[in-house]
Structures are given as structure tokens and as C-alpha cells.
Amino acid sequence: MKILIATKNRGKFNEIAGVLRDVSLKDGEGVELGFLGDLKVEDSDFVEDGVTHEENARKKAKYYFERVLTGEVLMGDGSGSDGDWSGSREVRGNSGGERKIPQSFDFVIGEDSGIYVDALAGEMGVQTRRWGAGENATDKKWLEYFMKRMGSLAPGDSDRGAKFVCNACLIGNLDGELIEKCFEGETYGEITHEIGAELLPGLPLSSVFLPDGYDKVYAALSTADKNKISHRGQAIGKVRDFLMNFK
């Protein structure tokens, strides 16, 4: 089974892959995971404008799954993805050149996540990465801006409570049956006063989010421990459970 993870954020892909990579389906089949960032994708018309995480996750999954069906966008050899795409076929692009695309993905997973901080009520949520210094800022610059705001609004321990939320939507078509399922996960904690671990690429808040009941920030936890408790780990864990019981 081939699954496209519809994100260009390598940090998010790595976390999702860490949960799904060892999935064993009922018939004993495994999975191959494709990273959107490894493929040339003509997606300039895609706008992430949902007002909830589920709306954004569903929109991503639908958008890329429709293009999987038509073969419009998955241009490239997928050499950096989890699978080698040895079954790729030649297609002729709009420019007339020959390119390789994967033959098919069975499922696409669209994911959307964000943080809700007491001191920044109404400011982040679905806009988290686009908030503040903006989505084009480096992880370091984005986090510097965030921590400066937190220092001015919540210099003490009050109002530093926070909640991470993730929604993951799975869309696929197997044996003529269209499958569309969305799953959510959330984790409560607080924002630390100082950066508690080295920044994970694409996941700057992981270095300052201390989950309830733990003495280490997300980024300082082992992959296994983080996947057990994190918002993304919970949502993708539900996807994993669904897939393992699907066939």
C-alpha cells in the first residue's frame, strides 16, 4: 500500500512516518510512504483557508488525492521518499518532456495542526505557522518572535498554558470504495521560559512546549515517547489503527 503524506514540512513527515512506517495490514501487507516535498507538485492554486484544523486537513487530502487520480502533479522520481517507486511509469508533461511519476497512491493523508496559548488567545490556532514572523521566516526567527511576545505578555508563570491540536484526514480509493476519515489529537501543557532543546527542523515550538506530566519539552523526548503523547502522534496513531483494521 502506497500512502502520500501531503506535507512539504520534513519535520512533520518524519513524525508521521515514525508512526506509520511499521504498519502491518490484516493481509500482512506493509506500506510505502511518499513525501510531498520530494515530488515536483504543481499546486500554486491550493489555498489553506479553512477555519478549523479538520477543514484544512480534509482540503489538503482531497486536493492531492484528486491529482493522484489524474496524474497531474506527482512529477519526479521520488528518490528521497520512503519508497523507491520502482513501479513508476513514463508520462508526457505539459512541456512535452518525459517524466516519471508513481503509478498510484492508495491513500493520501492531509494534516493540519496548531497551538492555542492562553496569553495569545485568538491569535494562533489554524494560523500558527503563518502567525508572527510568518511562514517564510526561519525556525529560529519565528521562535525568537514568539518567545519575545510570550515574555512581554506572560513574564511569570501565569497565562503560559497551551494546547496543541492536530487533525489528520485519510482519503483513498480501494476496490472501488472511497474512504474518507478524519482523526484528531490534542495535548495540553505550557510554554517554557527558555528554549529547552535544540530546534527540530520545521517544528520550532517543540523546543518550548512542556507537555503536562513531563519534565522535558517535546523536542527533548525520544521519538517513541513523543509519538505516544503528542497531538500529531495521537491523530496519526488513530490513522494507523484504522489502516491496520481496514483490510
Summarised one tens digit per residue, pLDDT across range 181-203 is 999 999 999 999 999 999 999 99
Mean pLDDT, range 113-136, rounded to an integer: 96
Q: Across 123-176, where does the E strand assignment appear?
A: 161-174
Residue 92, pLDDT score: 34
Structure confidence at residue 83 as a pLDDT band (50, 70, 90): very low
Domain of 196, in residue numbers: 2-244
Taking a C-beta distance cutoff of 8 angstroms, is the pair 162, 115 a contact?
yes
Q: Is the dihedral of CA 244, 223, 189, 51 positive or negative?
A: negative
Catalytic residues: 112
Ordered alpha helix ranges (H), the chain: 10-20, 53-70, 139-153, 223-229, 231-244
CA distances from 89 to 43, 101, 104, 241, 245 (A): 21, 6, 10, 31, 31
Rounded CA-CA distance 193/21 in Å is 35
The CA radius of gyration of the chain, in Å to the nearest whole number, is 19
195: its cell numbers: 528554549
6 has a pLDDT exceeding 90: yes
- If one counts every other C-beta atom within 10 angstroms of the C-beta of residue 28, the result is 7
CA 102 from chain center: how many Å?
21
pLDDT in tens, 207-247: 999 999 999 999 999 999 999 999 999 999 999 999 988 76
CATH of the domain at 30: 3.90.950.10
Helix axes 10-20, 231-244, angle to 10 degrees: 40
Q: Quick check: 125 and 114 in contact, CB under 8 A?
A: yes
Q: How confident is the model at residue 18 (pLDDT cuts 50, 70, 90)?
A: very high
pLDDT higher than threshold 90 for residue 40:
no
Query: C-alpha cell of 144?
Result: 525568537
pLDDT in tens, 130-150: 999 999 999 999 999 999 999
Domain count, the chain: 1
